[in-house]
Chain A
Amino acid sequence: MEPFTKLTGIAAPLPMQNIDTDKIIPARFLKTIKRSGLGVHLFDPLRFNKDGSEKPEFVLNQEPYRKAEIIVAFENFGCGSSREHAPWALLDFGIRCIIAPDFADIFFNNSFKNGILPVRLPREVCDQLVEDAKMGGNARITVDLERQVVVRPNGEEIHFEIDAFRKHLLLNGLDDIGQTLQHGTAIDTYEAQQKQDRSWMPTTTAA
């Protein structure tokens, strides 16, 4: 996984609530056995007409937002399905950070696993950042994970919160399976204890 340290880039304003996973990537594009190549379908219902042509009014079809690396959105971003195809599509398009007042829980988790930083900031701050983002290529936003700040184009710094463990994994681009496997002895001990405490637990090969 690519580490996330500090990103300065173009932010696309997407001032909508409840951007669900079917909007981010509809189910018909989930029939893949790969993680890559989903960027062309990102936001398909918002981005393309039925004949496949672009909807010019959609922000990611406009310059300079075709090169956006940050999205600023409103409440409950990523609600709906658990499909990790949503962050895969965002990443494949080039998005590394999403700023919103809050996120759906599963989407929030999935983002971290793919080197995408979801930043929670209050709605009034998101309102300001949407206005900043509307200034386009003249207004780059910086997201500094180490210092936990978003820097507005006018230089104002806004602090954000993040779990220490998630921050550590993201800053170092660590594979969390590898991290957990370092606790293998604890898992062995737990399983041995569980065999006694919950000896009734059947397996999936029992029937």
Chain B
Amino acid sequence: MSASKPRTLFDKIWDAHVVERLPDGTCILYIDRHLLHEVTSPQAFEGLRAAGRKLRRPDLHIAVADHNIPTVGSRVPEDIKEEDSRIQVQTLEKNVVEFGVPYIPILDKRQGIVHIIGPELGLSLPGTTLVCGDSHTSTHGALGSLAFGIGTSEVEHVMATQTLLQAPQKNMRIDVTGTLGLGCTAKDVVLAIIGKITTAGGNGHVIEYTGDTITNLDMAGRMTVSNMTIEAGARAGLIAPDQRTFDYVKGRDFAPKGEAWDKALAYWKTLPTDPGAHYDTNVFMTSAEIAPMVTWGTTPGQVIPVTGVVPDPMLIEDEGKRSQHLRMLEYMGLTPGQHMTDVKVDVIFIGSCTNGRIEDIRAAAHVAKGRKVADGVQALVVPGSGLVKAQAEADGLDRILLEAGFEWRDPCCSMCLGMNPDKITAGQRCASTSNRNFEGRQGIGGRTHLVSPAMAAAAAVTGRFADVRQFG
């Protein structure tokens, strides 16, 4: 590697982790951190067991159960009512003992959604490679970590070898500039990005987000943007570490301390992309393209400003696309030209690895304060971790939300994908702060609209989608 060739942030992290380059260009890439949860790990442990293998470096792995955990009632694994969920959690608890994997128990106050607790506990660090058997691992890219989701075979591969076989990816830059307008948040930024580049726009790429709109986001907002990178098709979404990142990481449980901190910091400061480095693809946006957004279809790229109307499929020339669009509208129960602010909602979900942080709950509480959830609307707030929950309660946010008629739940992935009892039913319409509006994602026949936490709270108190800019 020539020292003079300017490199991107991605190039630098990649180069520092190549163990060996195979003749066809595939690399054996070293993995610094592996986060595990109960859904995508059992078959990997089973594979190790069958082959008589063990973890090469168990001290670089950490496990937590998050997808199947109830958000009301007892959180003791034996008490989980759904048998298959209970077995999955108990299997994780057995496997971490058998294979010596560090584990955060469900009743530990640090338990939470794996992508919330990684940054929160200082497990996710700039300049590292981090993987997890979950596509929203892209979240950790907000700290300048090359972080991506993997399948269960790769989970097993990391366990056995502490490496992955990876083909190099292309560099894509998405540069967003300008001050965000009133009521616009990181969620609106990333929804607008996906709307622009489409859900396949990032395939084969690692995205780096640049520009002052991005760097002015707080760390929680940056995580929301990186989190939804996968919805644009890219496995990893990086943001260069800066002083805000360093301030965020410093002092967290697993972060380097003392002399190690100084060394880490010196290294992290060398990571940002060199001037003149090459990106294979460049996308430029301005904050003028971003309003409080809401999705109307069944992929995250089908997004419009809340003041907009449902697009008319008859304007689409391609017959295949038109018929798919028509089918979506039928599924979603929407008509072309309908104003989004006329669309009624049944359920509100505030939470998930996309928007389950304290800043998100604060934004929802700000809108909810002194108002009431509309009649017939169920509104759930599910903090992303035990620490988020404790902080919210210390700040009195739970009381504001409860007084407004929201339900205040325990941490879990919850209604993002309904692996625990939190689901919507067929035909119900949900304003959700999660990341996927796929058919059936939140429950069979359920209709999901992706929005920011503030927009979700505004919908809760209005009973319809509402323009959050009209809420002081």
A contacts, CB < 8 Å to B: 15-18, 20, 22-23, 26-28, 30-35, 45, 50, 74-76, 79-84, 87, 102-106, 109-110, 113-114, 163-166, 176-177, 179-181, 183-184, 186-187, 190-191, 194, 198-207
Set B23, B122, B321: member contacting A164, Cβ < 8 A: B23
- Nearest Cβ in chain B — how far from A91, in angstroms? 12
Do B30 and A105 have beta carbons less than 8 Å apart? no
Known contacts: A18-B199, A106-B235. The answer to whether A35 contacts B43 by CB under 8 A is yes
Do B153 and A76 have beta carbons less than 8 Å apart? no
Residue B88 at the chain A interface, CB threshold 8 Å: yes
**Selected A-B contacts with CB under 8 Å, 8 pairs:** A31-B87, A31-B88, A104-B233, A113-B153, A163-B167, A166-B26, A177-B160, A186-B19
13 extra A-B contacts, CB within 8 A, seeds A176-B157, A187-B162: A18-B200, A23-B439, A26-B440, A28-B419, A34-B43, A45-B439, A45-B444, A79-B233, A81-B134, A177-B53, A199-B263, A202-B254, A207-B254
Beta-carbon contacts under 8 Å, B146-179 to A: 148-154, 156-157, 160-163, 165, 167, 169
- Nearest Cβ in chain B — how far from A88, in angstroms? 8
Known contacts: A50-B426, A76-B233. The answer to whether A207 contacts B320 by CB under 8 A is no
Residue B145 at the chain A interface, CB threshold 8 Å: no
B contacts, CB < 8 Å to A: 19-20, 22-26, 28, 30, 32-33, 39-40, 42-43, 46, 51, 53, 56-57, 59-62, 67-68, 82, 84-85, 87-88, 91, 102, 121-123, 125, 128, 133-135, 137, 148-154, 156-157, 160-163, 165, 167, 169, 199-200, 203-204, 230, 233-235, 253-256, 260-261, 263-264, 267, 299, 320-321, 324, 417-419, 426, 436, 438-441, 444-445
Do B299 and A20 have beta carbons less than 8 Å apart? yes
Inter-chain CA distance A114–B43, complex, in Å, is 13
Overall SS of chain A's interface: loop
Do A33 and B128 have beta carbons less than 8 Å apart? no
- Nearest Cβ in chain B — how far from A32, in angstroms? 7
- Nearest Cβ in chain A — how far from B236, in angstroms? 10
Residues of A within 8 A of B260 (CB): 199-200, 202
Between A82, A110, A201, the greatest number of chain B beta carbons within 10 A of the residue's beta carbon is seen for: A82
- Nearest Cβ in chain B — how far from A186, in angstroms? 5
Inter-chain CA distance A113–B166, complex, in Å, is 13
Do A180 and B163 have beta carbons less than 8 Å apart? yes
Set A84, A166, A176, A200: member contacting B261, Cβ < 8 A: A200
- Nearest Cβ in chain A — how far from B309, in angstroms? 23
Inter-chain CA distance A87–B151, complex, in Å, is 10
Overall SS of chain B's interface: loop
Closest A-chain residue to B232, C-beta based?
Answer: A79
Inter-chain CA distance A22–B439, complex, in Å, is 7
- Nearest Cβ in chain A — how far from B58, in angstroms? 8
Inter-chain CA distance A74–B82, complex, in Å, is 37
Residues of B within 8 A of A35 (CB): 43, 46, 152
Inter-chain CA distance A176–B373, complex, in Å, is 53
Residues of A within 8 A of B256 (CB): 200-202
Inter-chain CA distance A35–B157, complex, in Å, is 16
Closest 10 CB pairs of A and B: A113-B153, A110-B151, A31-B84, A33-B42, A84-B151, A82-B149, A207-B253, A200-B264, A200-B260, A164-B24
Do A201 and B102 have beta carbons less than 8 Å apart? no
Set B135, B167, B204, B254: member contacting A204, Cβ < 8 A: B254
Between B152, B157, B254, B260, the greatest number of chain A beta carbons within 10 A of the residue's beta carbon is seen for: B152
Inter-chain CA distance A82–B426, complex, in Å, is 25
Set B53, B85, B162: member contacting A31, Cβ < 8 A: B85
